Amino acid sequence: MRVIAGTAKGRPLKAVPGMNTRPTTDKVKEAIFSMIGPYFDGGLALDLFAGTGGLGIEVLSRGADKAIFVDREKVSIDVIRQNVNTANLADRSEIYRNDADRAVKAMAKRGEQFRYIFLDPPYKMTNMDEMLQSIASHNLVEQDAIIVVEHESSHLYPEQFGGFIQRKYAKYGETAVTIYSYQPEDGGSADE
């Protein structure tokens, strides 16, 4: 695994030891960023269920201002720290060991709003539509945000729900990627 493009292009990324984490392959990562990018002009990214941190590191390398990485496994947090250091992106990264639901509530208290959201949970978790609705209800999603959900190809997410509109869907063997954009249902953000 490596960083594919941008300021950290070519830097190697460590994998999380063991069989509990399934890192996004370079092929799938390249496909994701060809669908949503390839480069970005600022903005805050959230890499929830971050694993190795590969998706958040890639969006930082391609121009996002800052990324917040969240994973509940200590071994993943250690690997993310090593990977952001290897990529020279530690100064634009925040890394938290936390459960996804608690992390969402903590970020809401800080008033964060994300332009890019990456959800790559364990494949047995098939409730990322509910997770996104929770993220939106906590006012954490910028209008026109890009959301990437990586999941098992046998599971399909709705084309539209709660302001999230599917823009692209692609299958790569057992992996599928569903990409949404976000349009608040009331036409504006909750704090207007």
Residue 75 domain boundaries: 37-141+151-182
Q: Each residue's pLDDT tens digit in the chain (192 positions)?
A: 899 999 999 999 999 888 677 778 889 999 999 999 999 999 999 999 999 999 999 999 999 999 999 999 999 999 999 999 999 999 999 999 999 999 999 999 999 999 999 999 998 999 999 999 999 999 999 999 999 999 999 999 999 999 999 999 999 999 999 999 999 876 544 443
Q: How far apart are CA 13 and CA 92, in angstroms?
A: 17
**In-domain check, residue 22:** no
Measured in residues, the chain has a length of: 192
Q: Tell me whether residue 187 is in a domain.
A: no
Q: Would you say residue 72 lies in a domain?
A: yes
Instruction: Give residue 188's pLDDT.
Output: 47
Looking at residue 190, what is its pLDDT? 42
Please state, as a whole number, how many other Cβ atoms lie within 10 Å of the Cβ of residue 7. 13
Per the CB < 8 A criterion, the answer to whether 66 and 94 are in contact is yes
Between CA 33 and CA 66 the distance in angstroms is 17
pLDDT recorded at residue 187: 54
Tokens of 57: 């590191």
Q: In total, how many domains does the chain have?
A: 1
Which CATH number does the domain housing residue 50 bear? 3.40.50.150
Q: In this structure, is residue 155 part of a structural domain?
A: yes
pTM of the model: 0.94
Domain membership of residue 114 (yes or no) is yes
Residue 101 lies in a domain: yes
Identify whether 81 is part of a domain: yes
Kindly give the pairing relationship between strand 66-71 and strand 44-48: parallel
Residue 17 confidence (pLDDT): 87
Rg (CA), the chain: 15
Tell whether 98 is covered by a domain: yes
